[in-house]
Amino acid sequence: MLDIRSDLSNRDFVAALPKVELHVHIEGAIEPVTLFEIADRNKIELPYDSPEGVLAYQSDRRGAGRENLVSFLECLDISRDALRTPDDYRTITVEFLSRCGREGVRYVEVMFDPQQAIRQGVSFGDCVDAIADGRRVGWRDFGVRSQAIMCFQRDHDPEQASRLIEAADTHRDDIVGIGLDNFETPGFPAMFRAAYDQARQREYRLTSHCDVNQPDSADHIRACIEVLRVERIDHGLNVIDDPALLDLVLERDIALTGCPTYYTGQASSAEIRLEMHRSLLAAGACISLNTDDPAQFGSGWLSNTIWSAMEAAPFTRADIVRFTQNAIDAAWIDEAHRRELTTELRAFSGGYGEASVPAG
């Protein structure tokens, strides 16, 4: 067996790994100090005494039996609510991509919620333009390539999603794909069929959140694949609970953007979720590791998220390289860019498919 970078500790191995991320929300990546600065200039009162209190408040709210999607989104709304100007969106995009550069992230797909921006006084066009401008700065100044995924909120009017898809025609070059997020409304895939048909006609790439251990998780995943005809599922770990669904995912080569950090305990990873990641990887699913909402989770961004999962699972270095190659394979990029990223990963790992070094 080839020894992958035995000169490095596991933490240094992950830090040096050329990384790709496919599942991160720009509104969940606002650093606490920046959140205070934005709230101050927008005259928004935050329920925290200081930047250091952000994670403590969130952990308290999500504790005591409330470790669930709803309580997490309640905390996320506090940060999202502070964004009131196009410059806010540009600021958080530039800061996030600066962080990606320091993390060794080569390429990232960033999700954003235009409905949230509109409700808070930022027009759709201004929001898209601000994020696009931030992305250009990210490539120019930090060497991080990025694309934007426009997510619609599952608990809001599907017809609004259709209208925004039409409005996005003048911004087509700035949006690579369409997604669904926020509270998981029962039966949501059927509600958004028309919007996804519109998006497919315009040749957007398609994904949707299917959060972990929600009511009807398997049915929602199946409907996203068969009704919305998505290429990826964000989260989607409950695929492993249904053999027929797993077969469908493998047959149609549906990628899964896994996020190992749990809703509580900052950088903790729940054992059962790590086991779901492990089982899906072993089954041959195209699953990757992503941060989701790194500032909200306090997960230490992508390097620490991967390292923490590696230590807790444990995953081997070969596993981590496979997760990374899966992200490259599932990325919405052209084949020349995919070959470039794959070549760099193989050069780093020295033969990624053959390697095995125990974690620890």
Per-residue pLDDT band at 355 (split at 50, 70, 90): very low
CB 235 within 8 A of CB 260: no
Q: What is the pLDDT of residues 293-350, one digit of tens each?
A: 888 776 779 999 999 999 988 999 999 999 999 999 999 999 999 999 999 999 999 8
Q: Residue 271 has what pLDDT? A: 78
pTM: 0.92
d(CA 294, CA 99): 11
Q: What is the pLDDT of residues 63-96, one digit of tens each?
A: 544 445 666 677 777 888 999 999 999 999 999 9
User: What are the extents of the domains in the chain?
Assistant: 25-336
End-to-end CA distance of the chain: 18
Looking at residue 262, the DSSP 8-state letter turns out to be: -
CB 103 within 8 A of CB 301: yes
Q: What is the pLDDT of residues 216-226, one digit of tens each?
A: 999 999 999 99
pLDDT at residue 113 above 70?
Answer: yes
**Residue 262 CB partners (closer than 8 Å, separation 6+):** 67, 268, 269, 270, 273, 297
**Residue type present at position 267:** A
Helix (H) or strand (E) holding 119: helix 114-119
Q: What is the pLDDT of residues 275-294, one digit of tens each?
A: 999 999 999 999 999 999 88
Q: Which CATH number fits domain 25-336: 3.40.50.2000, 3.40.630.10, 3.30.200.210, 3.20.20.140?
A: 3.20.20.140
Q: What is the pLDDT of residues 161-184, one digit of tens each?
A: 999 999 999 999 999 999 999 989
Least Cα distance to 92 among 235, 264, 294, 262 occurs for 294
